[in-house]
Amino acid sequence: MLPIQIVSGDITKLTVDAIVNAANPSLLGGGGVDGAIHRAAGPELLAVCRRLGGCAAGDAKITPGFNLPASYIIHCVGPVWHGGTRGEAELLASTYRQAMALAAEHRLQSVAFPAISCGIYGYPLAQATQVAIQTIEQCRRQGAGLPEKVFLVAFADNDQQVMSRVLADCGAE
């Protein structure tokens, strides 16, 4: 079974093979996790992202980690929450599938995900965490060469409690 661990803290400080960026479609930085990753990685990240031509919701792209402890950044664009009636769960699941596929392609052993779409995009944390866990577990069952360790990173302690409860409810511990 693929271990999924919930951790609390600053994703930019984690020593893993890749961190996932909850990016906007331009990939050029912004607020929240996206801005923090761009600031911590340094100006080289922006230069590389300018050449990527953006990223659609539900997709992912990979770059070097530059000044981060992580070797890579997997940039995922999640959906904006519209009440769950516009295919948000499918798009969010797609971001996790695409990120896991890139991790497998690059033979990464550890990946850390933030709560994609839960910031300014408004996705409810518990529902997003359930999509994340179910999708990661589905990827694990379907493929080989996936990361041995997957972390879901909560920025705040109360978020960690919600995510841990969802993980326990999913039986993925």
Q: Where are the domains of the chain?
A: 4-172
Question: pLDDT tens digits, residue range 43-70?
Answer: 999 999 999 999 999 999 999 999 999 9
- Whether the per-residue pLDDT at 173 is higher than 50: the answer is no
CATH of domain 4-172: 3.40.220.10
Classify strands 149-154 and 60-64 as parallel, antiparallel or unpaired.
Answer: unpaired
- Give catalytic residues, as residue numbers: 34
The tokens for 150 are 């997957």
User: Rounded to whole angstroms, what are the CA distances from 98 to 6, 37, 43, 93, 94?
Assistant: 20, 19, 25, 9, 6
Question: pLDDT tens digits, residue range 126-160?
Answer: 999 999 999 999 998 887 667 989 999 998 889 99
Question: pLDDT tens digits, residue range 83-92?
Answer: 999 999 999 9
Report yes or no on whether pTM surpasses 0.85: yes
How far, in Å, CA of 150 to CA of 129, rounded? 13
Query: For 37, what's the count of Cα atoms within 13 Å in the CB-facing half-sphere?
Result: 32
- Whether the per-residue pLDDT at 94 is higher than 70: the answer is yes
